[in-house]
Amino acid sequence: MGNHLSKKVTYRSEEEKAQLIIKHWIRIFNIKLERIHGFDKLVIDYVMFLFIFFIQYQSNVQTFITIAVLMLDTFFSSAKVSSIFYEHNGPVNSIDYSTFGNCQLLCSGSDDNTVRVWDIETNKQIQSFNGHSSFVYCVKFSQYHNRNNRRNVICSSSEDKTIRSWDIKDNKQFQTFNGHTLGVNGIEFSQFNSGRYLYSVSSDKTIRLWDAETSKPLHIFNGHTDIVKCVDISPLQSNGNDSIGLIGGNGYTFCSGSYDRTIRMWDIETTKQLIVFKGHKYYVSSVKYGSNALGNTILSGSEDDSIRLWDIRSGKQIRIFIGHAFCVNAVEFSPFVANNIGIGGHSNVICSGSSDKRIRFWDIRTNDVLYVVHEYYEEGGVLCLKFLPNKKSYNLCYGSKNSSICIWG
């Protein structure tokens, strides 16, 4: 028993660093002269930033390198297990985070059929909801109810074919979404319209759109040929208006991952399927949209033990990350920057959790493993991940097959 941390470190001489800088300069000029055809635009964004930054700071390269690396290394230099919650009696399939007033809250869903709520400051369970009749697969705090009704609400989906809404203050269920004919594996609130719309994916092979205010179904998306496991919605557009169109409009999309081994992207306004991403050898367990400089990408984890990065513009796979020994159950774009190159201050590190009891941090540009976090207990496996903001940085929270929730940071 115990938590362990390992790090992959590469040391380079000053001469080697200079050679790398020159190499990137040459590649930039080749790109401008169109000598490198088909060079992915995502990588060009990274290299262009490197070129401009080094021109500006070439008088003090070493200082730049040190400062950039600290952004990730500082987190791990003092990181440790700070809290463990044991109250669940089955695997913890999903976790979510929210603030309400002065409280920092965590919610969780488990194979013990319960939804539980925790106060992160006191490390205590403050609520347990017992209305589901089977496994709870996904939980999400509703920002819509928070913003519009000042109610702290959790939505949960279950193997019992339902989605339910729970009021934390009143300690009761007040909504049930009925319509799916098999278990509901995942849910996600819209980024637009203040989170009024809810998407759900199911073992009945469909994706459904719901009105979170009325709990009424609005549309059924068909296209997957097997169980739909996961869903994510594209980030909020930076136009200052989150109420564009009746449902979404302005280019909003969502993506879904399935047992049919595909990731599919859908237009929210037209309800049409846009792209089918193919490459995973077994079912897709987790999907996440990138944001900011990575806004044209989707990250996925799979039963084939791999993590893959996809370019929305080309519909192609652009990265594959290999290292886990078993199913990758959760993927996240981390809030950290590492290894010399930042993207305007945005993250270039991804994170994955697996049934091999490991959480791995990867450099998105090189495919290198930066850190490996070993699960606190030997038995188990990481089922879900969430980065929790704190006063200075972030904590990493994960749910496990061994019924525990661990906060690390």
Are 302 and 189 contained in the same domain? yes
Are 97 and 72 contained in the same domain? no
Report how far residue 376's alpha carbon sits from residue 362's, in angstroms, rounded to the nearest whole number: 20
- Give the per-residue pLDDT at 245: 43
Which one of 78, 93, 121 terminates a domain?
A: 78
- Give per-residue pLDDT as tens, 259-276: 999 999 999 989 999 999
Record the tokens describing residue 147, joined without a space. Answer: 């913003």
Give the distance from CA 165 to its chain's centroid: 22
Are 72 and 98 contained in the same domain? no
Q: In what order do the strands lie in the sheet with 184-189?
A: 184-189, 197-202, 207-211, 217-221
Helix axes 61-78, 41-57, angle to 10 degrees: 120
Q: What is the mean pLDDT of the chain?
A: 82
Are 51 and 150 contained in the same domain? no
Are 64 and 208 contained in the same domain? no
Q: Does residue 93 lie in a domain region?
A: yes
DSSP annotation of 390: -
* Identity of the residue numbered 347: S
Are 97 and 67 contained in the same domain? no
Total domains in the chain come to 2
Domain harbouring 191, CATH code: 2.130.10.10
Record the tokens describing residue 379, joined without a space. Answer: 């038995």
- Give per-residue pLDDT as tens, 339-398: 554 445 556 899 999 999 999 999 998 899 999 998 877 778 999 999 998 877 889 999
- Give the per-residue pLDDT at 295: 82
Which one of 47, 78, 109 terminates a domain?
A: 78
Q: In what order do the strands lie in the sheet with 172-177?
A: 136-141, 153-158, 163-167, 172-177
Q: Are 88 and 116 in contact (CB under 8 A)?
A: yes
- Give the per-residue pLDDT at 379: 76
Q: Does residue 4 lie in a domain region?
A: no
- What are the residue ranges in the chain where pLDDT is below 70? 1-73, 78, 236-250, 339-347
CB neighbour class for 240 (10 Å; exposed up to 12, middle 13-18, buried from 19): exposed
- Give per-residue pLDDT as tens, 71-105: 566 777 767 888 999 999 999 999 999 998 888 99
- Concatenated DSSP letters of 197-234: EEEEEETTS-EEEEETTT--EEEEE---SS-EEEEEEP
* Identity of the residue numbered 5: L
Write down the residue that tokens 């799916």 correspond to: 180
Which one of 62, 78, 94 terminates a domain?
A: 78
Report how far residue 403's alpha carbon sits from residue 406's, in angstroms, rounded to the nearest whole number: 10
- Give the per-residue pLDDT at 235: 86
Contacts of 130 (CB under 8 A, 6+ apart): 113, 114
Q: Does residue 241 lie in a domain region?
A: yes
- Give the per-residue pLDDT at 347: 61
Are 24 and 85 contained in the same domain? no
Name the residue range of residue 63's domain.
11-78
